[in-house]
Amino acid sequence: MSNVRLITTFLTIFLVSFAVLFVPPVLGYSENEAKTAVKAAESEVFTCYDVAFEAEKAGANVSALLSALNEAGLSLSKAKRAYSDGDFDSSVSFANECQSKLNGFVDQATSLRSDAEQAGYLDFMVNFVGSGVGALSIVVGGFALWTFLKKREEARGQV
């Protein structure tokens, strides 16, 4: 029996050593870390909503932006739900997923806003200035035609 006990002890020590050395430790997040991650994701969502609103106000088509915001909002909702359930690992994971879905969002919204503002300026120039130039052309052309016809009528009257 002594050999069996020795082999069992050796095997137990080997397996415990193997587990300690080669099995990665479980990285659990604390409640504070999860709370911080959820708040950061929530702040990012609010910032993105503000930027999307400004882009829409400038006249940009923000449907693609709103779709990305909806997906990020779903991840944020899952993060908050996991946090309230005490599943801090999932909460951090969903919060990170939310932020990754919004990666580059602000730049894209700013670009759309800038393009919409430029298009609005061009529309203003074409509509307002173009209409003004057109109206002025009609007035000047009418005056020139009137002057031409008047001189022609005067020339006929003298003959």
Helix H, strand E, coil C: the string for the chain is: CHHHHHHHHHHHHHHHHHHHHHCCCCCCCCHHHHHHHHHHHHHHHHHHHHHHHHHHHCCCCCHHHHHHHHHHHHHHHHHHHHHHCCCHHHHHHHHHHHHHHCCCHHHHHHHHHHHHHHHHHHHHHHHHHHHHHHHHHHHHHHHHHHHHHHHHHHHHHHC
Residue 138, domain member (yes or no): no
The predicted model scores a pTM of 0.63
* Domain membership flag for residue 3: no
> Would 9 be classed as within a structural domain?
no
Integer-rounded Cα Rg, in Å, for the chain is: 36
Q: Is the pLDDT of residue 92 over 70?
A: yes
Q: How far, CA to CA in Å, does 122 sit from each of 88, 119, 125, 130?
A: 51, 5, 5, 11
Residue 16 is assigned to a structural domain of this protein: no
How does pLDDT run across 36-83, given as a tens digit for each residue? 999 999 999 999 999 999 999 988 899 999 999 999 999 999 999 999
Q: Does the pLDDT value for residue 24 go beyond 60?
A: no
Total domains in the chain come to 1
Range of the domain at 35: 29-128
Say if 37 falls within a structural domain: yes
pLDDT digits (tens, 9 = 90+) for 96-152: 999 999 999 999 999 989 888 888 777 777 787 788 888 888 999 999 999 988 888
Which residues touch 124 (CB under 8 Å, ≥6 apart)? Answer: none
Residue 15 belongs to some domain of the structure: no
Provide the pLDDT confidence category of residue 6 given band limits of 50, 70 and 90.
Answer: confident
pLDDT of residue 25: 47
